[in-house]
A and B are shown apart, each in its own frame.
Chain A
Amino acid sequence: MGVPFEALLPYAVCIGMFGFSGATLSKIRAMQNGGKRARHSVDQWDRQMMDRDRRLTGFLRGQTDNVKAPAGFELSNPWRLERGYT
Chain B
Amino acid sequence: MSARQPRFNQHLLIDTTPLPDSIPKVQEVGSSSAPLLSASYFIGARCKAYNDDYMQCKTEANGKGEMDCLREGRKVTRCAGSVLEDVNKSCLDEFRKHWECLDNNNQQLWQCRKWERPLNSCVFEKLNLEKKIPGVPENETPVHLRKRQIFAHSIMTQ
Q: Is B truly associated with A?
A: yes
Partner-B contacts on A (CB < 8 A): 36-37, 39-41, 46, 49-50, 52-53, 56-57, 61-70, 73-76, 78-83
Chain B, residue nearest A53 (CB):
B32
| Residues of chain A contacted by B103 (CB below 8 angstroms) | 36, 61, 63
Partner-A contacts on B (CB < 8 A): 6-16, 18-19, 27-35, 81, 84-85, 88, 95-96, 99-100, 103-107
A53 to chain B, nearest CB (A): 4
Contact B88 A65 (CB under 8 A): yes
Chain B, residue nearest A81 (CB):
B11
Most chain A C-beta atoms within 10 Å of own C-beta, residue among B27, B28, B32, B100:
B32
Contact B29 A69 (CB under 8 A): yes
Instruction: Tell me, in angstroms, the Cα distance from A40 to B35 when the chains sit together.
Output: 19
Contact A64 B31 (CB under 8 A): yes
